[in-house]
Structure formats: structure tokens, C-alpha cells
Amino acid sequence: MGDHQAKSETASLIEHRAYARVGLLGNPSDVYFGRTISFSLGNFWATVCLQPSDDLVIQPHPIHDLVVFKSLDHLVNRLDSEGYYGGVRLLMAICKVFLDYCKENEIQLEARNFTLSYDTNIPRQTGLSGSSAIVCAALSCLLDFYKVRHLIKVQVRPGLVLSAENQLGIVAGLQDRVAQVYGGLVYMEFDKEHMDTLGHGIYTPMDVSLLPPLHLVYAENPSDSGKVHSTVRQRWLNGDEFIISSMTEVANIALEGRTALLEKDYTKLAALMNRNFDFRRSMFGDDALDALNIEMVEVARRVGAASKFTGSGGAVVVFCPDGPSQVKLLEDACQKAGFKLEPIQVVHSLLNEVDLQTLSK
């Protein structure tokens, strides 16, 4: 009996993985009705497990949600390195957003309870979308547990993930969540008219084989992004011509990048990556970008590689157009600077048959 019960519990366990993401071109124009190209990064991921249970339980992570300490010093050191926030709040927020959405759209949910737990190996403060990966994986678990995957369209899901993060005061754009929901390589258009009428952008998956070999550079002890508050958003809202025209240029980089990828014009891709970062730097200024982040970009550029932020800082995506000899130079330079370097693994599309059917509706 006990063995049979254990098997049935294992069979009813739902587990989903969501990957870190790399903004390849066009960021941060996704928050400004622009265009971007992003992909799922197979090097790092978050996993969420859902197990049916009598009570609804959100399980704290033994490391990321630590509440028992050896001493006051231990507690303070922990806060200095990890901050105040673990993943429990993220899981709670997506549960709320999911239920609200189902009620608003008259999607009936069976009265059942579950236990949610999570794990992640996405490095903190690296601009690789660690928070949204946890939320995205949890949403996938809820869709399967309540058997409503066919009722909630794929293109709507990134907005639900973002909405959960917004509940917690996390300010971000849709780009990262689109890459994490879809998987693979995605070209995204956030045209204002579509955003206003549909509530989401137009997302076009691309073949991951179009990408050249890429590398990831990141710091093991990153500085906290957002120490210096950027004025870019306010200036954009105020109609600042420099910001508006620069943001349009950044969006155009993604448009040109799509053509470059389709034609496998990697010389053009390298130039666009560099231009993307240069525009970001001119808009945001060095204080907001942080010296460590800028140095990561410069280390790659000094060996002749193209580089830009994966997100808003903390990690850098690098393309070495001259191949393995240039990668070796980059390895040596990163080692000297104390940065970590990894070849990028790109994840293929994560969408299953049911997901694809919702796209065609």
C-alpha cells in the first residue's frame, strides 16, 4: 500500500524549469514601445515543483529563504550578500495573479490544494532574470495542475509573470518574460497600438541555429543594480528628444539585427551589439551603469570582441567574430580581471502542442 501511494504521489508531482535569458539586441526599448531580440540561456535555470497536498503550502528555500542563523553576524552577512528577498514572495504573487486572471476570465478552477517549492542556480544581480524565471516556472506548474494550459494563451502568460513581479514593486519590461515563456530565440515588437489593444506585443520565434557562438561574462560578486536611480524613464515621459530618438535607434537595432541573423551576417551583428551598448551608455550615464559593469564590456572590447549587457547590468553577452583565438584572449583577459566566462548554451523552444494551439486561436 505504502509503495503504491509513493508511486502515485511521484506520478502527480509536477515540475517545470524556466531558464535565464539574454537580451541580445534592442534592450531596453521593450519598455518604450520598441523591439528586442532575446533568447533562453541554458547555462542557468530555476525549477519549481508542485505536489498535491491537503493544505496550500509555499515552501521556503533552505538557502534563499533562510530564517535560522548561527549568530547576529551571520544574519547581517547573509543580508549583505543575498538581500532581504527570497522566492517565497514570488510564488505567492503568481498564485494571486493566476487566480485573479482566472476569475476575471471565468476560468473554473477545481478546489484542490498543493505545495510549491523552488530551486535556482541563476546568479543574483547579474541581469539574467532570476526572479522572473521562478515566477515563470511556477505559472507553468499551475497551468498543468489545474489543467488550464489550453485556456490561457501563450502570448498572455509573460504579462501574468510581469504582473506578479509588479505586485512586489519589481519594475521591468515584458522582454525577459517572453523569452522565458517561449524559450529559444524570439524577435519581439512592442508597438504601442498593439500593446494598447492586445495587452501584449507581437512575438516571432526564430531558429536558434541562426546564432553564432556567444559567451557570457559575469562577476561573482556583482554590485547591486539600481543603486543610482536612472532618470531615463522620466525624461522619456517628459518628451526629452535625445532619449526618444535614442530609444528609437535602439529599437531599430533589433530590426536590423533580425535581418543580420537571418542572413547570418555576423560582422553586422557585432557592430549592432556594440552600438546597442553605446546608446545605453549615452542615455543612462556611467554612474547609473556602474564601473564594474562597464569594465565587463570593456574587457571584451579590448580583445576586439563585440559586447553588451544581457539586461540592465551584471552580466555581458560577448561575440568573438575572429573565433577560437579571440576567445582565448578573452579567457585570459577575464581571468586577469576576475570575471567568470562561460560559452553560452541556447535553449530551444519550450512550447508544447497545447501551447502552440493557443497561439493559433
Task: Let me know the angle formed at the C-alpha of 247 by 43 and 228, rounded to the nearest 5 degrees.
Answer: 70
Residue 67, SS3?
Answer: coil
Q: Which residue has the cell 549615452?
A: 282
Q: Are 251 and 26 in contact (CB under 8 A)?
A: yes
What is the rounded distance in angstroms from the CA atom of residue 213 to the CA atom of residue 355?
A: 29
Q: How far is CA 209 from the centre of its chain?
A: 20
* C-alpha torsion sign, points 309, 315, 319, 325: positive
Of 176, 207, 265, 286, the active-site residue reads 176
Q: Are 133 and 181 in contact (CB under 8 A)?
A: no
Stretch (H or E) spanning 17: strand 14-25
What is the rounded distance in angstroms from the CA atom of residue 337 to the CA atom of residue 99?
A: 47
The full 3-state SS of 201-270, as one line of letters, equals CEEEEECHHHCCCCEEEEECCCCCCCCCCCCHHHHHHCCCHHHHHHHHHHHHHHHHHHHHHHCCCHHHHH
Active site (annotated) includes residue 176:
yes
Query: Could you tell me which residues come within 8 angstroms of residue 142 by beta carbon, excluding any fewer than 6 positions away?
Result: 50, 94, 95, 98
* DSSP track, 275-332: HHHHHHHHHH-HHHH-HHHHHHHHHHHHTT-EEEESSSSSEEEEE-TT-HHHHHHHHH
What is the rounded distance in angstroms from the CA atom of residue 361 to the CA atom of residue 44?
A: 32
Residue 96, SS3?
Answer: helix
What is the rounded distance in angstroms from the CA atom of residue 109 to the CA atom of residue 292?
A: 48
* C-alpha torsion sign, points 321, 323, 325, 327: positive
Which residues are catalytic, by number? 176
